[in-house]
Structure 1
Amino acid sequence: MAVLNEEQEMLRDMARDWATNESPVTEFRKVRASGEPHAYDKDAYATMAEMGWAGVIIPEDHGGSDFGFMSAGLVVEELGKTLTASPLAATTIAASAIVLGGSEEQKAKWLPRLASGETVATLAVDEGAHHDPSTIETSVSGGKLTGKKAFVHEAHGADLFVVAAKDGLYLVEKSDGVSLTTRKLTDQRSHADVSFDGAAADKLAGGGDSLLDDVLDRARVLTAAEMLGMAQQVFDTTLDYLKQRVQFNQVLATFQALQHRMADLFADLAQMRSAVEAGLQAVDGGFGVARAATIAKAEANRVMHKMANEGIQLHGGIGMTDEYDVGFYLKRARVLEASFGSSGYLKDRFAKLSSY
Structure 2
Amino acid sequence: QQARWLPVLARGELIVALAIDEAAKHRPERIGLRAERDGDGYRLTGEKLFVVDGHVADLLIVAARTDEDGVALFLVEGAAAGLRRERSIMADAHNAARLGFDGARVGPDAALAQGAKVIEDVLDIGRAALAAELLGIADEVFERTQSYLKERRQFGQIIGEFQALQHRSSMLYCDIELTRAIVLGAQQALDEGSPQAAALVSAAKSRAGLTATTAVQEGVQMHGGIGMTDEFEIGFFMKRAGVVEELLGDARYHADRWARLSGY
TM-score by length of 2: 0.89
- 2:255 alignment partner, SS class: helix
Candidates 91, 95, 99, aligned match of 1:194: 99
Structure 1: distance between partners of 2:113 and 2:75: 11
- 2:68 aligns with none
Structure 2: runs of 5+ lacking an equivalent: 66-70
Please tell me the root mean square deviation across aligned C-alpha atoms, in Å. Answer: 1.6
1:14-93 correspondence to structure 2 within 5 Å: none
**Residue 53 of structure 2 is aligned to residue 154 of structure 1:** yes
**Residue 117 of structure 2 is aligned to residue 210 of structure 1:** yes
- 1:340 aligns with 248
Deviation at 1:268, TM superposition (A): 1.1
Is residue 200–residue 258 contact of structure 2 (8 Å, CA) maintained in 1? no
Structure 2: distance between partners of 1:257 and 1:295: 30
- 1:216 alignment partner, SS class: helix
Amino acid at match of 2:73: L
**Residue 62 of structure 2 is aligned to residue 163 of structure 1:** yes
**Residue 231 of structure 2 is aligned to residue 299 of structure 1:** no
- 1:125 aligns with 20
TM-score by length of 1: 0.67
- 2:14 alignment partner, SS class: coil
Structure 1: distance between partners of 2:89 and 2:123: 23
Q: Return 251-260 or 309-318, whichever deviates more.
A: 251-260
Q: Deviations over 1:41-71 (max 9, x none)?
A: xxxxxxxxxxxxxxxxxxxxxxxxxxxxxxx
Structure 2: distance between partners of 1:268 and 1:178: 44
Deviation at 1:249, TM superposition (A): 1.2
Is residue 55–residue 86 contact of structure 2 (8 Å, CA) maintained in 1? no
- 2:181 aligns with 274
Q: Deviations over 1:25-44 (max 9, x none)?
A: xxxxxxxxxxxxxxxxxxxx
- 1:151 alignment partner, SS class: coil
Structure 1: runs of 5+ lacking an equivalent: 1-105
Deviation at 1:123, TM superposition (A): 1.2
Amino acid at match of 2:161: T
- Structure (1/2) with the larger helix percentage: 1
Is residue 173–residue 200 contact of structure 1 (8 Å, CA) maintained in 2? no
Is residue 22–residue 31 contact of structure 2 (8 Å, CA) maintained in 1? yes
- 2:222 aligns with 314
Structure 1: distance between partners of 2:181 and 2:153: 34
- 1:352 aligns with 260
Amino acid at match of 1:125: I
Q: Deviations over 1:255-307 (max 9, x none)?
A: 12211211111111111111222222222211122112111101111101101
Q: How many residues align?
A: 250
Is residue 91–residue 240 contact of structure 2 (8 Å, CA) maintained in 1? yes
Structure 1: distance between partners of 2:263 and 2:130: 26
Highest CA radius of gyration, 1 or 2? 2
**Residue 134 of structure 2 is aligned to residue 227 of structure 1:** yes
Structure 2: distance between partners of 1:168 and 1:278: 30
**Residue 69 of structure 2 is aligned to residue 172 of structure 1:** no
Deviation at 1:200, TM superposition (A): 4.0
- 1:85 aligns with none
Structure 1: distance between partners of 2:102 and 2:258: 35
Structure 2: distance between partners of 1:157 and 1:183: 12
- 1:187 alignment partner, SS class: coil
- Structure (1/2) with the larger strand percentage: 2
Q: Return 178-187 or 340-349, whichever deviates more.
A: 178-187
**Residue 49 of structure 2 is aligned to residue 145 of structure 1:** no
Amino acid at match of 2:50: F
Percent sequence identity over aligned pairs:
44
Deviation at 1:324, TM superposition (A): 2.0
Amino acid at match of 1:116: R
